[in-house]
Amino acid sequence: MKKVLFFAALAAAAFTSCQKSEVTVPSEKEVNFMIERYVTRVTTSNNISQFEEGDVIAVTSDGLYADITDAQYTVGANNLTGETAVYYKYDQTASFTAHYPANLNNVDGAITMTVDSDQSDATKFHNNMFMVATARGSKLNNNVTFSFAHQLAMVKVMLKGFDANSLSLLNVLPDVTWNNGQLEAAAGTATSIRSFMIDQNEFWVLLPAQTINPGEFISINATDGKVYTFTLGSALTLNTAKVKTITLSINGSEVVMSSALEDVEWTDEDTVLDGKVDGEEYIPVVLLTGNETFTTLNQTADYKQSDVDGWNYSAETGNTLEVSDANELHFTTTFAGSWWKNGAFYAFSDAEVAKINNAASKIFKITFTYRTTAQIRCCIYVDGAATKHTLYDTAEKTGGNTDKYINKTTDTTVSYYVEFAESVSTLNMFIGGLTAADKECFVKNVRFEEVL
């Protein structure tokens, strides 16, 4: 497993840029880039985290013979390799700014980082470590040494007496900008961040320094199948380049906390202060239970254009849809037609869409029972008529397609999964789609629920 690139634990002895592109200069000295080996050090499970071969940093200069902007340098076994050799300009002193991750842009000295909402494995966590270093140099000493500093905070959640499969922070700001040596306040739209699981009782999250207001803060998907939401009773401040440790335990149906409400340096042992805050059990979102009736159906010429919440249907002229005594949707085609004009769809209300966007998990499951004399389909439309969401065969997102085609002639129950990685504004679920004449299909027990 790839070592985690943990806060400013930077590696490699002396990094020298390789000369792949020649620059004609008047006998000036080439710049040699170096990085302090152990600027700060963190030991985690007896492993020292550091840069590894293949990691990339970006460098911007001011005052060289030919300045560079976001030039990428890759960590090798014993050196740093880049595309172009760079040179000092006569006796002039040059300034340098280096940053990680290298895919960020330095725009007139401002570098903005948006942390990912999914930091659930070592690589994703590694890629969210925002660090910046500045240095100056001249040909009198052509070595430039970067000492990186962390620009994010870290929250470490420890579970005591129980385990979890996943854990997320809720209602946190994801954006921060380093602007010519000054770190601006956290910004962006409040979101959730899925943590990196060290093991089933230790979870890490990287995020900008900020003050978390009282309210829902941590969602825990426990291994016993229950989901808990931890609620802050008072504001919690996270500081740049500091670790905040929160220890949680379960007392009956409540989450209780011992929290490190003091910051610790990366190299220090965590000190945990005692305290308790009640939590509440999280109830998964269920929008369709499978027991709803189809007594109210709204007819529309085109399902993608309906603004009516709830169950709707569209039918080519001469074709019919009815509700049977068994509370089944029954489609009958006398005439052939377009698939989208022979089916039923559920238009989710604004309130239901809000529940999806605020759910602890981003995975939802669709389940229904059907039988048909010809092929039909299931699909999900989001944010208007033109955008289909991928449906998967499993919660692990395997077997993905935008349309799931089915054609069993006897009652068959199927389940599909959809991930809402980003917020949606509108959502329609379509089932049906007979295109040939003299065909029929039946649909019942439709369920739509969050998967934890």
The parts of the chain modelled with pLDDT lower than 70 are 1-28, 36-51, 76-79, 250-283, 292-293, 295-296, 299-307, 325-326, 383-386
Can you say whether the dihedral through the CA atoms of 166, 169, 170, 174 is positive or negative? negative
pLDDT at 17: 40
pLDDT at 33: 78
Is 3 strand, coil or helix? coil
Phi, psi for residue 111 in degrees, rounded to 5? -125, 120
CA 439 to chain CA centroid, nearest Å? 44
**Distances from the Cα of 322 to the Cα of 292, 296, 297, angstroms:** 15, 11, 9
pLDDT at 197: 94
pLDDT at 386: 63
What is the residue type of 93? T
pLDDT at 341: 77
The mean pLDDT value of the chain amounts to 78
Residue tagged 């942390």 (tokens): 115
pLDDT at 300: 63
- Predicted TM-score of the model (pTM): 0.57
Residues contacting residue 350 through CB under 8 Å, at least 6 positions apart: none
pLDDT at 306: 57
In whole angstroms, give the CA distance from residue 29 to residue 208.
Answer: 39
pLDDT at 248: 82
Phi, psi for residue 259 in degrees, rounded to 5? -120, 145
pLDDT at 228: 84
pLDDT at 303: 47
- Going along the chain from its start, the domains and CATH numbers come out as 32-150 (2.60.40.2620), 153-283 (2.60.40.2630), 287-450 (2.60.120.260)
Reply yes or no: is the peptide bond before residue 284 cis, omega within 30 of 0: no
Residue 357 host element (H or E): helix 350-357
pLDDT digits (tens, 9 = 90+) for 40-86: 323 333 333 466 777 889 999 999 989 999 999 887 666 677 877 89
